[in-house]
Amino acid sequence: MQINFNNLNINQLSFETEFEQKIKKFLEEWFSESETVRVQTSGSTGIPKVFDIEKKKMINSAEMTCDFLGLKEGNTALICLPVEYISGKMMIVRSMVKELRLIVVHPSTKPLEHINDEVDFCAMTPLQVENSLDKLHLIKNLIIGGAAVSESLKTKITQTLQFSNSPTRIFETYGMSETLSHIALKQIFPLTEDYFTVFENVTISRDERGCLKIFAPNLNAEVLQTNDLVEIKSDNKQFRFLGRIDNIINSGGAKIFPEQLESLVKKKIPNEVVFLGLNDESLGQKLILVIEGKESENLIEKISAMPFEKKFHKPKEIIFIEKIPRTPNGKINRIELTKIIGNK
């Protein structure tokens, strides 16, 4: 199904599938007299919440992204994300704001499976990208959100596209429901950037813990305090994500940032990995590594041979699990994983 926002008439469209019906419901909510729409958070860092967001602020967010990417009226966009969450809703709003032609694809792990024509703009999760490498050359502007993009996926993207002569640009996003999707992008192809660049009219700073504070008055009247530890460049327009403060593992008095260790390990092995801290009488928390997939001596040997910067960065135990739990929009659910491993 396609929705042409240059000449939209909801009544003339045929919304057949369950996903298309959800899009119709959102469009009806959008064109209602209410100044707000309801949005659900993913629950990846706590209990899922439902809250109201002003439509005019969603429009502001859409303009920021579209202007950054240079999208124009008549371009095509593809939606393959659930519309319960801000990520899916914003794809529709961006299409409305720029009068794009929106291609509707049911959210799945292989969203490009039946796509054979070029698309100007698309947003996906890392897992969707992983399963769409053979079709990435069809997407001119791709943003990846919902979870961090692993080093192994970045390598696969580069290996897939570097000789394709494709105009594809791929960005990793930074944001949350409260910032109406993302407020910063970091290019990972064809350029490889280490720092996120914030949009116009977005101001960033750090609190006393070193965590990011965001002031984006066009999106949220409040200064948003995150639990994300960051390094900010002197121009205050770029920052590097170090890890979430609530994910920090305190092992024997040493603070360990699991996201940094995961990034290091993923450069060496293709599996999804998560570092966790389990309660330990002597250390406080014992560093363990959870690997998704079948138990493998080869993987264990690779990790044992890795030159970790600190001795305490080496996991005390390696556990294999068939499937790492995720939230409905693809983020790793560390809370649920900790429960599962703790009960083993």
Residues 6+ apart with CB under 8 A from 28: 10
Q: Are residues 239 and 278 in the same domain?
A: no
Which of 257, 312, 331, 341 has its CA nearest to residue 41? 331
Q: Are residues 234 and 258 in the same domain?
A: no
Report residue 253: phi and psi, to 5°. Answer: 90, -10
Number of domains in the chain: 2
Residues 6+ apart with CB under 8 A from 289: 265, 273, 274, 275, 276, 303, 315, 317, 318, 319
| Domain contains 75 | yes
Q: Are residues 159 and 263 in the same domain?
A: no
68-72 long-range contacts (CB < 8 A, ≥24 apart) are 68/185, 68/199, 69/121, 69/141, 69/143, 69/169, 71/98, 71/100, 71/120, 71/121, 71/141, 72/98
Partnered with residue 335 across adjacent β-strands are none
Q: Are residues 279 and 235 in the same domain?
A: no
Q: Are residues 13 and 154 in the same domain?
A: yes
pLDDT at 47: 60
On the 0-12 / 13-18 / 19+ scale of CB atoms within 10 A, 87 is buried
pLDDT at 46: 54
pLDDT at 43: 55
8 Å CB contact between 133 and 107? no
pLDDT at 176: 80
Q: Are residues 160 and 274 in the same domain?
A: no
pLDDT at 283: 87
8 Å CB contact between 189 and 168? yes
Q: Are residues 257 and 236 in the same domain?
A: no
Q: Are residues 257 and 316 in the same domain?
A: yes
Distance (Å, whole) CA 202 – CA 216: 5
Q: Are residues 255 and 191 in the same domain?
A: no
| Domain contains 211 | no
Helix, strand, coil percentages in the chain from 3-state DSSP, rounded to 5: 30, 30, 40
Distance (Å, whole) CA 305 – CA 154: 23
Token duo for residue 117: 């024509």
8 Å CB contact between 26 and 89? yes
| Domain contains 193 | yes
> Which CATH number does the domain housing residue 262 bear?
3.30.300.30
| Domain contains 135 | yes
Q: Are residues 274 and 193 in the same domain?
A: no
Of the residues 243, 273, 297, which one is the last residue of a structural domain? 243
| Domain contains 10 | yes
Q: Please spell the DSSP secondary structure of 14-61, one letter per residue.
A: ---SHHHHHHHHHHHHHTSS-SEEEEE---TTSS--EEEEEHHHHHHH
Q: Are residues 114 and 194 in the same domain?
A: yes
| Domain contains 9 | yes
Give the pLDDT of the chain (344 residues) as one tens digit per residue.
899 888 888 888 888 899 999 999 999 999 999 999 988 766 555 566 788 889 999 999 999 999 999 999 999 999 999 998 888 999 999 999 999 999 999 999 999 999 999 999 999 998 899 999 999 999 999 999 987 788 878 989 999 998 888 899 999 999 887 788 899 999 999 999 999 999 989 999 999 999 999 999 998 888 999 999 999 998 889 999 988 898 899 888 888 989 889 988 988 888 889 999 998 888 889 999 999 999 999 999 999 999 888 889 999 999 999 999 987 656 788 889 999 987 76
> Which CATH number does the domain housing residue 59 bear?
3.40.50.12780
Structural domain that includes position 70: 2-201+230-243
| Domain contains 67 | yes
